[in-house]
Amino acid sequence: MAASNQVLETVASAAEKRFGEILARLPSHTAELGYELASADLIEVATALRDEVAFHFEQLSDVCAVDYLTYGDDEWATHWATSTGFSRGVNRLQPARNLGAPKRFAVVYHLLSVKHNLRLRLKVWCPDDDYPLVPSVVDIWPAANWFEREAFDLYGVLFDGHPDLRRILTDYGFVGHPFRKDFPLIGEVEMRYDPIERRVVYEPVEIESRTLVPKVIRHDEQYDPINTGARPGDE
């Protein structure tokens, strides 16, 4: 076993002994260490991972949200793409399904231990899909401040205890959360600078829907025009 893998398994063993059933190890095929835990246990676990000698994850590299609304559900049947492709900008006729994910929203924390030269991922599910809320870790890792604001802005995930939870990327007065999978992908309004009025103006979006699935020409005998009866030049 490589030295890096030895360190990983040593830290993993210490974490599982320390926290027991609180942590559920995430599967990995790339020698990465990750755990899933309940939001109610996040602060306790995060504090211990930062402070205790066995772990020493003193740095928070990133916080990101994930929307599992359409997890496991294909948008396109690609072998029919030439006749049934559709624009991602149109409204869905059927409600999105969540196949295999326990909840809709999750928050993922990426930690780094400089001491052990090891990275760790924590995954926390938001208990309520309609009001996604998890504790803020700003008091544990101050770097979480803007990361949590970004997750709130783009996904609508709320962080309990955040000192200044407001938008950070979208415009003032923006309605909705752009990275949610049910957000209208052509938007509601567009913004531009009007040189005549000398100010920024908002107007209804004018985007023509288009099919984003490319037509694929398969070099296969069954698609040969001779066998399909198509005439030269037919699409």
42 residue type, one letter: L
Question: CB neighbours of 228 closer than 8 A, spacing ≥ 6?
Answer: 222
Q: Could you tell me the domains of the chain?
A: 3-228 (3.30.460.80)
Distance separating alpha carbons of residues 139 and 12, to the nearest angstrom: 25
Task: For residue range 34-79, list pLDDT tens digits in order.
Answer: 999 999 999 999 999 999 999 999 999 999 999 998 887 655 555 5
pLDDT at position 89 is: 44
Structure-derived torsion over alpha carbons of residues 7, 9, 15, 16, reported in degrees to the nearest 10? -170
Query: What pLDDT does 86 receive?
Result: 46
CA distance 48 to 20: 13
The residues with which 135 forms a beta bridge, in sequence order, are 160
Distance from the Cα of residue 205 to its chain's centroid: 26
pLDDT digits (tens, 9 = 90+) for 192-227: 899 999 998 888 877 665 555 555 555 565 656 666
Q: At what angle do helices 42-51 and 3-19 cross, to 10 degrees?
A: 130
| Phi, psi of 97, rounded to the nearest 5 degrees | -110, 155
Query: How far is it, in rounded angstroms, from Cα 97 to Cα 91?
Result: 15
